Amino acid sequence: MYLDEYIYFLIGLAVCALFSAYASYKVSSTFRAYSGVRCQSGMTGYDTAKKLLAAADAREIEVGKVSGTLTDHYHPTKGVVNLSESTYGSASVGAVAVAAHEVGHVAQKKKGYFPYRVRTALVPVVNIGSRLALPLVLIGMVLDLFSLTPNASIGFTVAIIGVALYGAATLFQLITLPVEYNASRRAKKMLREQGVLTNEELRGADKVLDAAALTYVAALATSLLYFLRFLLVVLSLFGRRRR
């Protein structure tokens, strides 16, 4: 039975790996295609970010530059939208779409978008959980092994707390989906309202942002698979010890 479960896990892992590879290929190829399409407004990623930040009444947010491709991110504690080298100075449809997406996160924070607030609150939990999950499970198993009473459940409780902390990462990925999709919707709306892209160019921006969203779906699927595997292993180990 254990071997069958492990084989199913490996099959699931292979499926997730293939989906992740496809998502990565899709976002890179789509961005590359629209990085070669210059927008008619001539606005770069930097210009777009500054314009949309002003429109969102967030002029206090700075626009920085970081190395790499598609390493763009919003750093809320530092109050800066960091654009990658492939976005910052490029006047392409792809670059403008990515820059607008990051400003979408700024708008979420400013408007108090609930899923964004939840994801932000989960960050320290995920950071702590990633370090404590496995040690707590091991401690729980030791406590259960040397329990003085046959019905003592403290070891199991400690182990389940470890599993729950591990599951916080999966919850984080789950909350990330609506946050990222909403940021893209806000980006498209701002680009349209501010006249940064034409209707034809907006269709290209749609493709870039939709492709990027696939990577978050793949991350959720992989995280969920590992969480279920972790949970089932712990339940199985404690179950066998009870028999």
Residues marked as catalytic: 102
Three-state secondary-structure class, residue 243: coil
**Number of helices followed by number of strands (H, E) in the chain:** 7, 3
DSSP per residue, 186-221: HHHHHHHHTTSS-HHHHHHHHHHHHHHHHHHHHHHH
164-182 exposure pattern, b = at least 16 Cβ within 10 A, e = fewer: bbbbbbbbbbbbbbbbbbb
DSSP per residue, 6-74: HHHHHHHHHHHHHHHHHHHHHHHHHHHHHHTSB-TT---HHHHHHHHHHHTT-TTSEEEEESSSS--EE
What's the rounded Cα separation, in Å, for the pair 185 and 104? 8
The torsion angles phi and psi of 84, rounded to 5 degrees, stand at -75, 165
